[in-house]
Amino acid sequence: MEFTRTAVDPGSNARTGVFTTAHGEVRTPIFMPVGTVGSVKGVYHRDLVEDVKAEIILGNTYHLYLRPGLETLRIAGGLHKFESWDRPILTDSGGFQVFSLTQIRKITEEGCRFQSHIDGSRHMFTPENNVDTQRIIGSDIIMALDECCPGDADERYAARSLKLTQGWLERFFKHFVETEPLYGYEQAMFPIIQGCVYPELRKRAVDHAVSLVGDSPAAGGFAIGGLAVGEPTEKMYEMLELVCPLLPQDKPRYLMGVGTPANILEGIARGVDMFDCVMPTRNGRNGMLFTWNGIMNMRNSKWSDDFSPLDPDGTSFVDWKYSRAYLHHLFIAKEMFAAMIASEHNLAFYLDLVRQSRLHIEAGDFAQWKETAVKRVSTRL
- Point out the residues that are catalytic: 92, 276
User: Does residue 39 interact with a second copy by CB under 8 A?
Assistant: yes
Q: Between 185 and 307, whose beta carbon lies closer to a second copy?
A: 307
299 in contact with a second copy (CB under 8 A): no
CA distance 247 to 195: 15
DSSP assignment of 176-234, as one string?
HHHS--SSSS--EEE-EE--TT-HHHHHHHHHHHHHHHTT-TTB--EEE-S-SSSS-HH
Q: Is residue 182 a contact point for a second copy (CB under 8 A)? A: no
Judging by DSSP bridges, how do beta strands 30-32 and 274-276 pair with one another? parallel
- Which residues are CB-neighbours of 125 under 8 A, at least 6 positions away? 93, 94, 95, 98, 111, 112, 114, 133, 145
Among 183, 237, 292, 317, binds a second copy (CB under 8 A): 317
Residue range at the interface with a second copy (CB under 8 A); choices 204-212, 221-229, 258-266, 331-339 = 331-339
Q: Is residue 63 a contact residue for a second copy (CB under 8 A)?
A: yes
Q: What are phi and psi of 282, to 5 degrees?
A: -65, -50
Question: Of 196, 230, 189, 229, which Cα lies nearest the Cα of 213?
Answer: 189
52/269 with CB nearer a second copy: 52
Q: What is the length of the chain?
A: 381
Which range, of 79-87, 144-152, 198-206, 256-264, touches a second copy by CB under 8 A?
79-87
Q: Is 75 in the site for a second copy (CB under 8 A)?
A: yes
Determine if 325 is a binding residue for a second copy (CB under 8 A). yes
| Contact present, 314 and 345 (Cβ < 8 Å) | yes
**Is residue 76 within the footprint of a second copy (CB under 8 A)?**
yes
Among 155, 156, 175, 142, residue whose Cα is nearest residue 64? 142
Q: How far is the CB of 63 from a second copy (least distance, A)?
A: 8
- In the bound state with a second copy, the residue whose beta carbon lies nearer, of 72 and 286, is 72
Write the Ramachandran bin of 5: left for phi over 0, alpha for psi from -120 to 50, otherwise beta: beta
Question: Segment near a second copy (CB under 8 A), from 147-155, 218-226, 238-246, 335-343?
Answer: 335-343
CB of 115 to a second copy, least distance (A): 18
Number of helices (H), then strands (E), belonging to the chain: the values are 15, 17
Which residue among 201, 205, 227, 330 contacts a second copy (CB under 8 A)? 330
User: Given the rule CB under 8 A, which of 74-82, 181-189, 258-266, 272-280 is the region that contacts a second copy?
Assistant: 74-82
Would you count residue 183 as binding a second copy (CB under 8 A)?
no
Binding of a second copy by 348 (CB under 8 A):
no
CA angle at 138 for the pair 133 and 142, rounded to the nearest 5°: 70
Minimal distance in Å, beta carbon 280 to a second copy? Answer: 15
**Would you count residue 45 as binding a second copy (CB under 8 A)?**
yes
Q: How far is the CB of 81 from a second copy (least distance, A)?
A: 8
Q: How far apart are CA 154 and CA 66, in angstroms?
A: 32
Contact at 8 Å (CB) between 142 and 156? Answer: no
**Residue range at the interface with a second copy (CB under 8 A); choices 31-39, 139-147, 350-358, 367-375:** 31-39
Is position 116 an interface residue for a second copy (rule: CB under 8 A)? no
The span from the CA of 10 to the CA of 296, in Å, is: 33
Q: Under a CB-based contact definition with an 8 Å cutoff, are residues 252 and 223 in contact? A: no
User: Would you count residue 323 as binding a second copy (CB under 8 A)?
Assistant: yes
Q: Which of 184, 215, 333, 380 binds a second copy (CB under 8 A)?
A: 333
Q: Judged by CB under 8 A, which of 17, 29, 42, 127 binds a second copy?
A: 42
Tell me the closest approach of the beta carbon of residue 41 to a second copy, in angstroms.
6
CA 381 from chain centre, in angstroms, equals 26
Sites of contact with a second copy (CB under 8 A):
37-46, 63, 67-68, 72, 75-76, 82-84, 304-305, 307, 317, 321-323, 325-326, 329-330, 332-333, 335-337, 339-340
